[in-house]
Amino acid sequence: MQLQLATQHNIEYYGEIGMGTPAQRFKVLFDTGSANTWLPSSSCPTTDIACQRHKQYNSQQSSSYVANGSKFSLAYGAGMVSGYLSQDTLHLAGAQLSGLTFGEITQHHQTIFESMSFDGIVGLAFAAIAWHETTPFLELLCQQRKIQQCLFSVYLRQQPVAAQAAGELLFGGVNSARYKGELHYVPVSGEGYWQIQLSGVAVRGKLIDNNVAAIVDTGTSLILLPQRVLGSLYAALGARMLGDIYSLSCKLEELPAVAMHLGNFTLTLTPADYVVEIEGLCISIFVPFNYDFWVLGDVFLRRYYTVYDAEGSGRMGFAEAV
């Protein structure tokens, strides 16, 4: 099952699904950093601008709809949504996934959702972080044997041109044309998330962080890192403070790579990967937050083809994307 992805300014990547019978079409962000699925509801108030600007699911127009009604709220880095649970059939790349419990959003609590290109989210993480007593999308997909292998792979283009899809999501397989070299696999290290353990993060051989967890997250644009390592990282990158902004040299050839060690192999981010120039000022895509783990978002995923294997205790595969 292969799905083409589109993007808005390389910030968000999304594909198309259908929900209900007959299928109502939606653009959704496939999020490896969460496990729940939600769509805007036709019962949202007219005062909810984000809802009004996006496609809305109407349960009255679906013959396969099953009412639930349990209320919920979900918090993301970008904001919070709330609503109630429903159940229906999800359509994806020609397959039908019946009985999926999903959220009908009746309230977007932050204005950031107003400008999003996607209507909703399909969570690709594990049941441990899903709504209580619900079966999330990936587990249901595998239970109903819609794919032979319980895995999927993600490819995001570095610089898509108009005639190309911005990326590809492949359920049940791996596309060897999208990477070079071998896939390197590591076990999933945490419950619920697509989390791995970094044995170290280094710049020019100097250790910046070690033995730290990292979540691979298609729903995050940048790379998030613990606040405690920010100063060490920027010192190693030769950054200067301009007001409250860390500025980097715009001469990329003078900047070092950032190496992320995973056991016996290394994932490397080059200056071209982590530097962004805005009006003559060069800044990095490393953003601090108050948690003691890293989040590897789309900047990382444009560099590396990733495989998410849910068989057994779970593992992740990495290879350099082409």
Residues catalogued as catalytic = 31, 217
- Tokens matching residue 189: 């290290």
Buried b (16+ CB within 10 A) or exposed e, 248-259: beeeeeebeebb
Q: How far apart are alpha carbons 59 and 43 in whole angstroms?
A: 9
If DSSP codes are grouped into helix, strand and coil, which group holds residue 46?
A: coil
Buried b (16+ CB within 10 A) or exposed e, 209-242: beebbbbbbbbbbbbbbbeebbeebbebbebeee
Q: Which of 259, 256, 268, 255 is nearest to 201 (CA)?
A: 259
| Residue 22, preceding peptide bond in cis (omega within 30° of 0) | yes
- Tokens matching residue 151: 């895995």
Q: What is the C-alpha end-to-end distance of the chain, expressed in Å?
A: 21
Residue 108 near residue 50, CB atoms below 8 Å: yes
Residue 30 near residue 169, CB atoms below 8 Å: yes
Q: Which residue has the tokens 């005062």?
A: 47
- Tokens matching residue 32: 């490896």
